[in-house]
Structure 1
Amino acid sequence: MILFNAGNIGRKIANARKTKNLTQLELADYLGVRYQAVSNWERGQSMPDIEKLPDLAEILDLSLDDLLDRPQATAEVSALQNQNEVVSEETLTEYAPLMKPQKIAAKLTNVTVDLEHLKALAPFLTSELLAELLTQALPEKNDFQQLASFAPFLQEEQLQYWIDVTDLDQLVLHFKEIAPLLPFLSKATNDRLLVQVCQTEDLARHDLQQLLPFVSRAALFSMMQKTPLDMELVQAAAPFLGKNYTTKIFQDLLAKGEAKAITGLLPFVDSEILLTAGTQEHDPAFFKASLPFLKKEQVDQLFKEETTQHTLEDDALKIFLPFVSKETLFQYVQGQLAKNPTSFFNELKVAFPFLNQNQLSTLFTKPEKGDTPHENF
């Protein structure tokens, strides 16, 4: 298919308009369009409608052949505008970007369009007409590979027709061809596919994972409850389950002692549940992994509880530093230095990069009397 060069055509329009000593506004008035349309034509950002082309060429003293840089343009445009004159599917496809959908539909009543030309015409047809033509052009109802090319231009209920006339077993059999259709199908349809896919042993995990973004949360959660535990699949599904369902799975796994295996779920779990789990689990690795996904005030709460009970060791303090609030950290450092500046300085200096300038200045400011922490800095 030959595409018109909008840039070249725009330059021809601009040059011819200037030669005729016309402004964009005057040319627009002659053609019954807004001057912005003329401006867009001349900049190559759009093309004139086919109905405007003969008048445009006449006003600018150009032939259509010259304007469109196409030897048969005059005859082709005339044929396309004559409702009774038959044109080839090739010509119709090439001029479709310049035609209104109703004009294209009128011409298609006398033209048999094959699949390749229909693909090119699809963006310019109404979804109703496209669906009608597809039922004629697709002899095999389960030719989902071809159907995928048209999916972006069909309504959900129109696309549903090809799904409804195919058995679920056949849909699963052709799953790889159906996969590109998933974003355009209803969640109800994809939920049914999910159930069927889970019952098919020879489908790879990758095939199942392609469904995850397009099924309902309830169906996905139900599937996770019924199938054998597969942590890779659980973690792949987590972004699409929603916080409530992911938290339920998290709690179930935690109750089974699977704390180490579920760290991939942490970003998707309710922070209150995560906070409780973090305090109950005596697993430093799990505790550290959960901190980035807690709210700042929750981290502060944990930090205060830990520091109330005992002075934090260097490694334990480092775990908290990126996540605790500056104010809470400052209060802790200030309190420890006040107790024993000499002993605690080396242990606490790791916290200094996480404090702001004013807080550091306060720590380093020398009081009027007595020994001070700053004398050891």
Structure 2
Amino acid sequence: MFDIKKIGRQLAHLRKGNEITQLQLADKLGVSAQAISNWERGETMPDISKLPELSQIFDVSIDEILGYEKGTKLLKNIIDDRDISLEQNEVSVEEFINIAPLIQFDKADTFFYKLKDELTLNDIASLTPFLSECVIDEYAKEEFERNGIETLAPLAPYISKEVIDECVLREFERNGIKTLAPLVPYISKEVTDECALKEFERNGIEALAPLAPFISKEVIDECALKEFERNGIEVLAPLAPFISKESLIEFTKKSYNENGIASIISICPFIDKSLINELALDAISKKGISEILPIMPFVNQNSINNLVKRQNN
């Protein structure tokens, strides 16, 4: 694409050479002084409609403003609204990529369709901010059919939620949850939860780990409760950071009451310290200090020492 840093420096050079302030240039163009500052710092580029005005103000060609880069001639033709032939041998991929940030979606879409077979996935990923959503969605569906869901990751921020969800559901039915990780941040909460519930029933709670940060608390808790009732608290450790505090307390107390203090070792790093201390004190009062040795690293030593002293007295 155009070197916007280089163009920014050129704009600053031309403005100063004409002894025009940023505010004066902004007034002439009908934009904010901040916009001029952003152009000159190379953070953004002028809109295509401003290039002829800049050319006239500075009395230079558009080529000179843009540094005679690939695509400048094509861009000038678009500005002049000339009848442009879109045959592939007349418009190169490099030219298209250069001008894409400056042209309207409809023109960018037209160039895309003409050059699509020549564009790499990296090319298309760089172009997605400048293409219409319907074009990106259509391409995403085709790419999914050809190469699977992983290749959609670079395009994901610009693919519609509906198409992302459609591809994800199909991929899940084919290969399960493990291949969805690259797209997880872009999947709707409803589809994420749907896949999580199905995956849990197929492969247990450990299989949810790749999606855990994106699964709703309600679904995590629902699966955790079922897993706890089937296999006890020990198997919840991989998902413990995502289980609600209330559910963890409930599971911990029930496990302690049914299976003793040793049963909660795997979950101790995720339990509130006050609850561990409470259970430890109860275990000592019933069975003595040796009962809490397995969880001693997680216990408040001062409270234990005070209890032991009272028992000894």
TM bracket (short chain): 0.7 to 0.9
What is the aligned partner in structure 1 of residue 136 from structure 2?
Answer: 130
- The one of 133, 136, 156 aligned to 1:151: 156
* Counterpart residue number, 1:91: 95
The question of whether the paired residues in 2 share the 8 Å contact of 1:92 and 1:104 is answered with: no
Please state how far the C-alpha of 1:160 moved relative to its aligned partner: 1.4
Provide closer, same or farther for how the CA distance between residues 232 and 26 of structure 1 changes in structure 2, counting only shifts above 3 A.
farther
The answer for the alignment partner of 2:300 in structure 1 is: 291
Name which structure has the greater RCO, CA cutoff 8 Å, separation 6+. Answer: 2
Partner of 1:216: 216
Letter in 1 for 2:152: L
Residue deviations 1:82-127, cap 9 Å, x none?
385335554333222334xxx1234414641356243222223454
Q: Is the 8 A contact 2:265 2:294 kept in 1?
A: no
Structure 1 152/17 Cα, relative in aligned 2: closer, same or farther at 3 Å? Answer: same
Which residue in 1 is equivalent to 2:168? 163
User: Does 2:198 match 1:196?
Assistant: yes
SS in 2 for 1:62: coil
Q: 1:306 to 1:59 in 2, by over 3 A?
A: same
Q: What is the identity, as a one-letter code, of the residue corresponding to 2:161?
A: E
Name the structure with the higher helix share: 2
Are the equivalent residues in 2 in contact too, given 1:263–1:289 (CA < 8 A)? no
Deviates more, 1:266-275 or 1:54-63: 266-275
Whether the aligned pair in 1 keeps the contact of 2:74 and 2:95 (CA below 8 Å) is yes
Conservation of the 8 A alpha-carbon contact between 1:83 and 1:107:
no
Does the alignment pair 1:269 with 2:267? no
The equivalent residue for 1:23 is: 21
Structure 1 contact 25–35 (Cα < 8 Å) conserved: yes
1:6 and 1:45 in contact (8 A); partners too: yes
Give structure 2 stretches of 5+ with no counterpart: 285-291
Is the CA contact 1:131–1:154 (under 8 Å) kept in the aligned structure 2? yes
Q: Name the aligned partner's letter for residue 123 of structure 1.
A: P
- Give, in whole Å, the separation in 2 of the partners of 1:90 and 1:128: 23
**Cross-structure match for 1:12:** 10
If the length of structure 1 is used for normalisation, what is the TM-score?
0.65
- Name the CA distance, whole Å, in 2 between partners of 1:118 and 1:209: 31
Question: For 1:150-179, what per-residue CA distance to the aligned partner results, in whole angstroms no more than 9, with x for missing partners?
Answer: 222234334212234x2753141xx44322
**Which residue of the partner structure matches residue 307 of structure 2?**
306
Bigger mean CA deviation after superposition, 283-292 or 30-39: 283-292
CA 1:221–1:71: 2 relative to 1, 3 Å: closer
- Report deviation, 1:289: 0.7
Name the CA distance, whole Å, in 1 between partners of 2:312 and 2:49. Answer: 83
Q: Is the 8 A contact 2:212 2:239 kept in 1?
A: yes
Separation in 1 of the partners of 2:74 and 2:127? 17
TM-superposed CA distance for 1:280, in Å, is 0.9
Higher gyration radius (CA): 1
Give the RMSD, CA atoms, in angstroms. 3.6
Q: State the alpha-carbon separation in 1 of the partners of residues 274 and 280 from structure 2.
A: 10
Letter in 1 for 2:180: I
- 1:179 partner letter: A
Q: How far has the Cα of 1:304 moved from its partner?
A: 10
1:259 match? 261
After alignment, is 138-147 or 212-221 more displaced? 138-147
Q: Which amino acid aligns with 2:97?
A: T
Residue 119 (structure 1) aligns with? 125
| TM-score, normalization by structure 2 | 0.76
Any stretches of 5+ residues in structure 1 without a counterpart? 293-298, 313-377
Q: Structure 1's 258 and 109: CA in aligned 2 closer, same or farther, altered over 3 A?
A: farther
**1: CA distance, partners of 2:300 / 2:144:** 58
**8 A Cα contact 2:184 2:214, kept in partner:** yes
Is contact 2:71-2:99 (8 Å) kept? no
Alignment match, 2:35 = 37
Q: Give the whole-Å Cα distance in 2 for the aligned partners of 1:268 and 1:48.
A: 53
2:269 and 2:69 map into 1 onto residues whose CA distance is: 63
1:303 positional shift: 7.5
